[in-house]
Structure 1
């Protein structure tokens, strides 16, 4: 099963986890990593990588982040590189939204590439005008 981590500007990661819990009505078994304003990638990435490594237990990890190129994204990318050096397959997707997260959760038992594909579809199909 793919391990799912949300890495985002505080308090967005925790808020997305709470939102998914609300929608599903149960613990979604994902991890939230809120990045505080004074955090930097070089300090936080090893801590994030260690947490993912412990959770993944040899399985793949999907790291969802809010803004590509921003500090949470940089932390996620640096952590992913550390995980790869430890033999853990991980990938980072930017632009996380609730639909992306729900799709990833619903397909987390599939191969990591399938989880990534479904998450991207969920994210893009949810962006539309509704009025």
Structure 2
């Protein structure tokens, strides 16, 4: 099973996990998060991030999800990347996380990344209101 590590601003990662738990009606295994706050030193968080990454790694690789590319969480995530083993995706959202949770048992890491990005993009759409 591919592990999932969310590295995000504040409590966004934990909120995404709680929403996924609600949708799935269970807490998935090999899933962890680390929130970065404004006062955190990225270099101080790197060892903690490596520890959490190791905890979710069951040998099939880990996908690191982060919220905004170029921001502190993604800069920390970039230091964790090991192509083919630890991969990263920026722009984390709930549809993306649910896609990873759905496909991580059945596919290799590259396929899961493609499905996650497609799910994340497909989950963003213009809703047009109407009467009920």
Q: How many residues are matched?
A: 126
Aligned counterparts of 2:73 and 2:27: Cα–Cα separation in 1:
23
Runs of 4+ in 1 over 2 A off after TM superposition: none
Q: TM-score normalised to the size of structure 1?
A: 0.89
CA deviation string 1:35-80 (max 9, x = no partner): 1221232221222112212331432000000011001111111122
Aligned counterparts of 2:46 and 2:60: Cα–Cα separation in 1:
19
Aligned-pair Cα RMSD in Å? 1.6
1:98 matched to 2:99? The reply is no
Show the counterpart of 1:9.
Answer: 9
Greater C-alpha Rg: 2
What's the offset of the Cα at 1:88?
7.7
* Partner SS, residue 34 of structure 2: strand
Structure 2 runs not aligned, ≥5 long: none
1:44 matched to 2:40? The reply is no
CA deviation string 1:64-101 (max 9, x = no partner): 00011001111111122xxx3xx981111000000000
Q: TM-score normalised to the size of structure 2?
A: 0.88
1:27 matched to 2:23? The reply is no
* Partner SS, residue 6 of structure 1: strand
8 Å CA contact retained: 1:41, 1:78: no
What's the offset of the Cα at 1:23?
0.8
